Amino acid sequence: MGVIQHESKDNECVSWVNGIPSHTVSTSDRGLAYGDGVFETVRVNQSPVLLAEHLLRLARGLRVLSIPFDMSVLQREITDFLSQRQDGILKIIVTRGEGGRGYKGPDSPQPTRILSWHPLPVLADSYYEQGFSIYACDTRLSQNPLLAGIKHLNRLEQVLARNEWSGDEFQEGLLCDQYDNVVEAVSSNVWMARGGILMTPALNFSGVAGVMREWLLKQMPQLGIEVIIGEIQQTEIAGMDEFFLSNSIFGVVPVQQYAGREWTRGPIARMCQQAIQDQLF
């Protein structure tokens, strides 16, 4: 059996596999062998934040991968798993389950469900006010319209990108495709503004459609902000008035510095942060 290890407190098991407290999955699980599955990372305060939206994306990813799945079973397990837990991170993994050697999956797959509990990272207030410094990653994201948008388990491009820098100088890294179109950051989505118009990259060919990104897009009309979803070339970044990032764990954080260009937190980033504070965390 292969082992997934997590930190524990007072001998408490902080991961469940298929509804049972466990730290192990089979070495023949296709999630381990091929990255054949999807995952979600959910912020939990007193209750999980945007859980319904996370589960919708997870279900969409499972449909793309043609993994049959009973979502009601997972929902019941999440409720039980979180019954005594607050202020942390819930990670949900669903794989195609066990299968033999070779790429072809089993004719009647039995998906593996993994829930794990992790500490909530503490982000200093200064980052929300002054912003992240962003590393310009050399790693380029490949294009695959079929997998674009979903959060599948194949994250090697992000692993390679994150390994490009070390130390505390940079808090995130920017990823482009092979045509130098901005796609996303390593662990978050990208937003930029020019002339009062907000822009975020289209994710038709690569990247992850973040749950917080989708939530913010729905809020923009109420905030009176025009949004363009489209192509942003890397060469355009220096001419932007605002630059900020979003994900479901930290919300919205402005970018302070990228490739020698500096910004201060702008009005749109402030409005987004306030909306998240008022409605989510």
Do 96 and 80 fall within a single domain? yes
pLDDT of 4 strictly over 90: no
Please indicate whether residue 41 is annotated as part of the active site.
yes
Please give the average per-residue pLDDT across 200-207, as a whole number. 98
Catalytically annotated residue among 40, 53, 151, 200: 151
Work out how many domains the chain is built from and give that number: 2
Please give the average per-residue pLDDT across 236-262, as a whole number. 98
Do 132 and 213 fall within a single domain? yes
Do 73 and 185 fall within a single domain? no
Q: Tens of pLDDT along 86-104?
A: 999 999 999 999 998 899 9
Please indicate whether residue 235 is annotated as part of the active site.
no
CATH number at residue 33: 3.30.470.10
Task: Among 78, 102, 119, give the residue marking a domain's end.
Answer: 119
Task: Among 69, 96, 119, give the residue marking a domain's end.
Answer: 119
At residue 13 the predicted structure's pLDDT band, cuts being 50, 70 and 90, is: low
Do 228 and 274 fall within a single domain? yes
Do 142 and 241 fall within a single domain? yes
CATH number at residue 167: 3.20.10.10
Do 44 and 152 fall within a single domain? no
Please indicate whether residue 157 is annotated as part of the active site.
no
CA distance 45 to 85: 9
Q: What pLDDT is recorded for position 192? A: 98
Task: Among 99, 119, 139, give the residue marking a domain's end.
Answer: 119
Q: Tens of pLDDT along 58-90?
A: 999 999 999 999 999 999 999 999 998 999 999
Domain boundaries, position 190:
125-279
Do 72 and 208 fall within a single domain? no
Do 73 and 177 fall within a single domain? no
pLDDT of 206 strictly over 50: yes
Catalytically annotated residue among 40, 98, 172, 184: 184
Lowest model confidence (mean pLDDT) among 99-108, 138-147, 214-223: 99-108
Do 90 and 75 fall within a single domain? yes
